[in-house]
Structure 1
Amino acid sequence: MSIDTLTGRFVALTLLFVALAEVFVLVPSLSSFRIDYLQTRLEKAQIASLSLLATDEDETIAAELESELLANAGVYNVVLRRNDVRQLVLSSPLPGPIAETFDLRETSLVMGGVDALRQLTDRDDEVIRVIGAPVNQAGQLIEITLPTGPLRRALLDYGLQVLIGSAVLVGLTAALLFLAAQRLILKPIRRVVSHMASYAAAPEDTRSIIRPDARIAELREAEAALASMQTTLTHSLKQKERLAGLGQAVAKIAHDLRNILTTTQIFADRLEDSDDPAVRRAAPKLVNSISRAVNLCETTLAFGKAEEPAPTLSRFALRGLVDEITEAELLLSESSGNGRLVDFVTDISPNLVIRGDQEQLHRVLSNLLRNARQAIEASGRPGTIEIAASETEQDWIILVGDTGPGLPKKARDYLFQPFTGGTRKGGTGLGLAIAADLIRGHGGRLELLRSDESGTEFRLVLPRGALIENILPE
């Protein structure tokens, strides 16, 4: 068991904290033992004194008997105070001066602990005086003198016993905590790690997604979060696979469609020589539309390879581009069979010139205006689409707003994600995703400002700085 593991650190901290607790227990225990030791010496000395007092006053006891009584009591001298008279009952020569006096009638547990530690660490054998109250009211006071050597040895023996017992307790506690940690914490953690490893080996297999069932609340929350992440990731991987397959199919279709449109463009060019004036007027618009369709096929092929071309920058009047798009949308609105429900309002100065890829911005604005028109037509109520533009020292700003019914919540949550942010029923959600990608290619951003029952408004920001101008030269 290494200290670098969770179990090792858990057990080490447990041992440390239990050992600290035992230290706090040891000191009061030593204090109590010391007081009991001295109290026992007082009681034995009192018994020896009463034995002596029980003899006749005229009788004297032998020196051997007095020495034996003092040895059994473990003291040098015994003094009793009875009837306000202080009497030396038993005595023997002292080996040295009295070093200190302790009155057990006034000793607290804290002071007793300090005295016990001091006597435990003092290696000198000294003589101390101990004062206490006699038991069974056999006098007013009893006073004894005794050596500190036996007291120190008794304290050492008692402390060693306490430490051995504490060590056994600490070991048993650590073992129980280790087993509990292994079963309650580490086993569920290893289960989570095992699920993560198996999921990493086959993230598309839904059977490898963890099912939260831990009994510990925190681990259960972690398992639930992991399960949610795995479910989302598996769904995303499957969606990426479907998108990859669909991209290949779209690339093949775009390739063939480009060839067809190229041929159509050749025939459309000949319409400009028609004798019909209406055909000659419509021919340039038809050629432009076919050219854009061919360009769209080519860029779709690049998008299918995740190689959207960098914008080819040029300066152009924004008003002309917007008028061209609105004119096309009006024709589509009038040919829908429901009558004209949409009015376009353009608030753009004819002198406003911006720098960008005209074809890519045409795709972006066409997508936004078409989505707005279709939303209004789907509601069956007349509405207005407004296109406005302005410029600052740093950016060109284009606003596209409508008075339609607003976007549903799902569309707002996944607005710029392909195949998830569709704004209308039957839509794929690719339009806004591609539009946002094209704007990012210009170094700008496409934002949804608002969407509610009063309508929807998008903001398109194109930077004017040197960074965007250095993408490609004109």
Structure 2
Amino acid sequence: MLNTLSGRFLVLTIIFVMLAEVLIFVPSVARFREDYLLSRLERAQIASLALLADDMISPDLEEELLRNAEVFNVVLRRDEARQLILSAPMPQSIGATFDLRDASAFALIRDAMTRIVDPEPQVIRVIGDPVRKAGLLIEITMETSGLRRAMIDYGLRILLLSALISVVTAMLLFLAVQRFLVRPIKGMVRQVQTYAADPEDARRIIQPKSSLRELRQAEDALAKMQSQLTSALKQKERLAQLGGAVAKISHDLRNMLTSAQLFTDRIELSEDPGVKRLAPKLVNSITRAVHLCESTLAFGRVEEPAPRLERVCLADLVSDVIDSERLSVGDHDLSFAEDIPADFHLRADSEQLYRVIFNLVRNARQAIIRSGAPGEISVAASEDEEQWIVRVSDTGPGLPPKAQEFLFTPFQGGVSKGGTGLGLVISQELVRGHGGQLRLRQTGADGTVFEICLPKGDLNALTVPQRDKAAP
């Protein structure tokens, strides 16, 4: 029960009510003691008035008066004269004197607590004002055992009543919390559990109906979140179905376009002037279509293998990339530069790293050729204590604003006409598979710089446990 909200609330209510009653108990007992002593002063005064009315009172009657007043003697001061009115033998000497005429609340509480704690009986002197100003003061001596018993009985009654009040109050609050708080919260929990069983079913979205403002706000927020999640899941399912359809269409279309590309190779051999003029455009259109299909299929392959990490000589890998790209330059004034030490090694999947660097160099080459201006592409490498850094920079025209905004967004970050923007997306995924980052360092009229940052590890370990790669 203590691990429930209502159970803890019940226990805390009992504790707090009892604490409040204890705070009331202390001054109540002090007030009871004061009233008890004042009543003894009043009884003693009445007994003394009987004696003053008849000086010839018998010793037996005097003893009875003192016994009824529960005192040993009575001293009454009238007209500045102190007079012993009634007296009886005392079992022991006076142990303490208490003046009730100007006692402070703190003194009354202190004396009351001291009397309850001290079990030893004691004879005390009590001084107070006579009733109806029948003298200057009245003074009595009395034994404290009766006073202590009366105080304990009164305190036990107070504590018993406090316990009863606290239990009844706690039960009422428990029922109120169950009705107005716990029950609505349990209802929300059941709604969440029901929705979690099938979040794509819009009928399971919670319907806000609580009359409590705070719970109504929580239900409204939950309903909004569930509605957004249901819509997102439905959209995700539609996109997955659409992606599967696009992959199938792209696969078949690529095969058809590949066949068409073979026919265009023969068309280019025609001597007809019109055919010679239109054939290059046809070849370029078919080539772009084939590239689009291949990029879409590559992006849709969620089973991209995890990187097989090994010791890679970066200089050899970059040299292969640049040698391949030089064949595509043609007559354009474009040069390549390598700033990589011959003994520069890093840990990576050589095939995947080749694809990343090749994609960056190819993009730079295409941008420079489209600009029509001469340019240079440079690949450099450096390292620090934590990572290896490979920089691919060019002197091209820079990336347009739209390409920068959607740089790593599929089908939106393309720069060239007919491009898909998948090259950088796939490259980024490959670098992330290595635990690294692919980022645009700078771009502008002076050129563009991309950085590949790969984390360091034990270079002597040729392979490491492979990670599962998330679907792009």
Measured against aligned partners, the alpha-carbon deviations of 1:21-42 in whole angstroms (never above 9, x if no partner) come to 2112111110011011101111
Name the CA distance, whole Å, in 1 between partners of 2:449 and 2:204. Answer: 42
Q: What is the Cα deviation at residue 179 of structure 1?
A: 2.5
Find the residue that maps to 1:51 and give its secondary structure: helix
1:349 and 2:345 aligned: no
Measured against aligned partners, the alpha-carbon deviations of 1:370-399 in whole angstroms (never above 9, x if no partner) come to 8x99xx99xxxx999997654212210235
- How many pairs are equivalent? 432
Measured against aligned partners, the alpha-carbon deviations of 1:168-226 in whole angstroms (never above 9, x if no partner) come to 22122212321232233323322321221111011112333335665666545644554
Alignment gaps of 5+ in structure 2: 345-349, 465-472
Name the CA distance, whole Å, in 2 between partners of 1:22 and 1:230. Answer: 48
* Corresponding position of 1:105: 101
Q: What is the Cα deviation at residue 127 of structure 1?
A: 2.2
* Structure 1 contact 385–403 (Cα < 8 Å) conserved: no
What is the letter of the counterpart of residue 20 of structure 1? L
* Corresponding position of 2:317: 315
1:127 and 2:123 aligned: yes
* Aligned CA distance change for structure 1 residues 4 and 207 (closer, same or farther; 3 Å): same
* Aligned CA distance change for structure 1 residues 199 and 398 (closer, same or farther; 3 Å): farther
1:440 and 2:418 aligned: no
* Structure 1 contact 96–127 (Cα < 8 Å) conserved: yes
Find the residue that maps to 1:438 and give its secondary structure: helix
What is the letter of the counterpart of residue 445 of structure 1? Q
* Structure 1 contact 383–402 (Cα < 8 Å) conserved: no
* Corresponding position of 2:197: 201
Find the residue that maps to 2:390 and give its secondary structure: strand
1:35 and 2:26 aligned: no
* Structure 2 contact 437–454 (Cα < 8 Å) conserved: no
* Aligned CA distance change for structure 1 residues 388 and 69 (closer, same or farther; 3 Å): farther
Measured against aligned partners, the alpha-carbon deviations of 1:384-434 in whole angstroms (never above 9, x if no partner) come to 9997654212210235873634569xx66xx74657x76899998766543
* Aligned CA distance change for structure 1 residues 65 and 132 (closer, same or farther; 3 Å): same
* Aligned CA distance change for structure 1 residues 460 and 229 (closer, same or farther; 3 Å): farther
* Corresponding position of 2:167: 171
* Structure 1 contact 44–73 (Cα < 8 Å) conserved: yes
* Aligned CA distance change for structure 1 residues 363 and 265 (closer, same or farther; 3 Å): farther
* Corresponding position of 2:389: 395
* Corresponding position of 1:463: 454
Name the CA distance, whole Å, in 2 between partners of 1:137 and 1:88. Answer: 18
* Structure 1 contact 78–90 (Cα < 8 Å) conserved: yes
What is the letter of the counterpart of residue 88 of structure 1? L
* Corresponding position of 1:339: none
Identity of aligned residues (%): 45
Q: What is the Cα deviation at residue 359 of structure 1?
A: 4.3
* Structure 2 contact 339–378 (Cα < 8 Å) conserved: no
* Structure 1 contact 319–348 (Cα < 8 Å) conserved: yes
What is the letter of the counterpart of residue 18 of structure 1? V
Name the CA distance, whole Å, in 2 between partners of 1:217 and 1:368. Answer: 59
Name the CA distance, whole Å, in 1 between partners of 2:218 and 2:204. Answer: 16
Q: What is the Cα deviation at residue 300 of structure 1?
A: 5.3
* Corresponding position of 1:338: none
* Corresponding position of 1:86: 82
Measured against aligned partners, the alpha-carbon deviations of 1:136-194 in whole angstroms (never above 9, x if no partner) come to 32222211112212212221221122112212221222123212322333233223212
* Structure 1 contact 262–294 (Cα < 8 Å) conserved: no
Range with greater deviation from structure 2 (232-241 or 319-328): 319-328
Q: What is the Cα deviation at residue 275 of structure 1?
A: 10
Name the CA distance, whole Å, in 1 between partners of 2:104 and 2:65. Answer: 30
1:23 and 2:25 aligned: no
* Corresponding position of 1:190: 186
Name the CA distance, whole Å, in 2 between partners of 1:369 and 1:225. Answer: 51
Map 1:15-414; keep pairs closer than 5 Å: 15-55=14-54, 59-210=55-206, 219=215, 222-223=218-219, 225-260=221-256, 263=259, 293=290, 297=294, 301=297, 303-309=299-305, 315-317=317-319, 349-350=337-338, 357=352, 358-359=354-355, 361-363=357-359, 389-393=379-383, 394-398=388-392, 402=398, 404-406=400-402
* Corresponding position of 2:2: 3
Name the CA distance, whole Å, in 1 between partners of 2:65 and 2:132. Answer: 20
What is the letter of the counterpart of residue 236 of structure 1? A
Name the CA distance, whole Å, in 2 between partners of 1:346 and 1:65. Answer: 136
* Corresponding position of 2:11: 12
* Corresponding position of 1:335: none
Name the CA distance, whole Å, in 2 between partners of 1:51 and 1:116. Answer: 31
Name the CA distance, whole Å, in 2 between partners of 1:183 and 1:319. Answer: 75
Alignment gaps of 5+ in structure 1: 331-344
Q: What is the Cα deviation at residue 444 of structure 1?
A: 3.4
Find the residue that maps to 2:438 and give its secondary structure: strand
Name the CA distance, whole Å, in 1 between partners of 2:183 and 2:137. Answer: 66
* Structure 1 contact 42–144 (Cα < 8 Å) conserved: yes
Name the CA distance, whole Å, in 2 between partners of 1:219 and 1:11. Answer: 21
Name the Cα RMSD after superposition: 4.9
What is the letter of the counterpart of residue 391 of structure 1? A
Measured against aligned partners, the alpha-carbon deviations of 1:121-148 in whole angstroms (never above 9, x if no partner) come to 4334332211112233222221111221
Name the CA distance, whole Å, in 2 between partners of 1:428 and 1:234. Answer: 30
Measured against aligned partners, the alpha-carbon deviations of 1:236-291 in whole angstroms (never above 9, x if no partner) come to 32233123212321332233234335545766788999999xx9xx99xx89x969
User: TM-score, with normalisation over the residues of structure 2?
Assistant: 0.73
* Structure 1 contact 67–92 (Cα < 8 Å) conserved: yes
Find the residue that maps to 1:64 and give its secondary structure: helix
What is the letter of the counterpart of residue 316 of structure 1? V
Find the residue that maps to 2:400 and give its secondary structure: coil
* Structure 1 contact 75–147 (Cα < 8 Å) conserved: yes
User: TM-score, with normalisation over the residues of structure 1?
Assistant: 0.72
Measured against aligned partners, the alpha-carbon deviations of 1:91-130 in whole angstroms (never above 9, x if no partner) come to 1222333232222234322232232223224334332211
Name the CA distance, whole Å, in 2 between partners of 1:40 and 1:146. Answer: 12
What is the letter of the counterpart of residue 24 of structure 2? V
* Structure 1 contact 15–174 (Cα < 8 Å) conserved: yes
What is the letter of the counterpart of residue 247 of structure 1? G
Name the CA distance, whole Å, in 2 between partners of 1:426 and 1:67. Answer: 124
* Structure 1 contact 130–144 (Cα < 8 Å) conserved: yes
